[in-house]
Amino acid sequence: MPCAALPDSQAVPHRCCGTIDDAMTAASRTPVRLVVGAAIVDDLERPTRLLSARRTEPSALAGGWELPGGKVDEGESPLSALHREVLEELGVRIRLGVHVPGPLPGSTWPLGDRYEMLVWLAEVVEGDPQPIEDHDELRWLELDDLRAVGWLPADLPIVETLEAMLAGPGRT
């Protein structure tokens, strides 16, 4: 008999329709994988441009634009992963700026159901960015034209936050 159909004298309080503990246990069965991203600007102190990268794979993401970065390997710190990923993908070394806080606990950004991303501002300190791995094109976007590319849906809220963060005097 469904929970709502049981007389009050037979209903088991907080158990027949599930509890918050049950929901939390179910939600915790699918671990979330941490991803890191770099919002690479031309200058951390006076940014005028943001680097965007067009994905080549997986096929579901191919052609979409994103911030460079990737998955954090087991036993690796997020910052080490970010430096490694940017070097692998773009062939450059970066200096990190401020963290770009996301809306989730831990200041992460949601990337579907299985991933969450930490994002930092960064600038290139060694090398010239090239689309070495996972990308076929890079494009520097002026801060007042950040929507000139088709951002992946998960990256768009990050870009919107960057627009607000990087807007200086005289910018709207």
Question: What per-residue confidence (pLDDT) applies to 158?
Answer: 97
Convert the pLDDT of each residue in 4-34 to its tens digit. 433 444 433 333 333 334 334 444 446 799 9
Convert the pLDDT of each residue in 42-76 to its tens digit. 999 999 999 999 999 888 889 999 999 999 999 99
Count of Cβ atoms closer than 10 Å to residue 84 Cβ: 16
- Find the DSSP H helices in 45-100: 78-90
Alpha carbon distance 91, 114 (integer Å)? 27
Count of Cβ atoms closer than 10 Å to residue 106 Cβ: 10
How much is the pTM? 0.80
Report the CATH number that the domain containing residue 147 is assigned in CATH: 3.90.79.10
Does 24 reside within a domain?
A: no
Expressed as residue numbers, the domain containing 84 is: 32-166
Question: What per-residue confidence (pLDDT) applies to 23?
Answer: 37
The whole-number average pLDDT for the span 32-41 is 97
Output the 3-class SS for 100-158.
ECCCCCCCCEEECCCEEEEEEEEEEEECCCCCCCCEEEEEEEEHHHCCCCCECCCCHHH
Convert the pLDDT of each residue in 90-128 to its tens digit. 999 999 999 999 999 999 999 988 999 999 999 999 999
Does 10 reside within a domain?
A: no
Does 8 reside within a domain?
A: no
Alpha carbon distance 158, 129 (integer Å)? 21
Which position has the token pair 């950004």?
Answer: 109
Convert the pLDDT of each residue in 135-157 to its tens digit. 999 999 999 999 999 999 999 99
The number of domains in the chain is 1
Does 18 reside within a domain?
A: no
C-beta separation of 152 from 55 below 8 A: yes
Does 96 reside within a domain?
A: yes
Question: What per-residue confidence (pLDDT) applies to 169?
Answer: 56
Does 66 reside within a domain?
A: yes
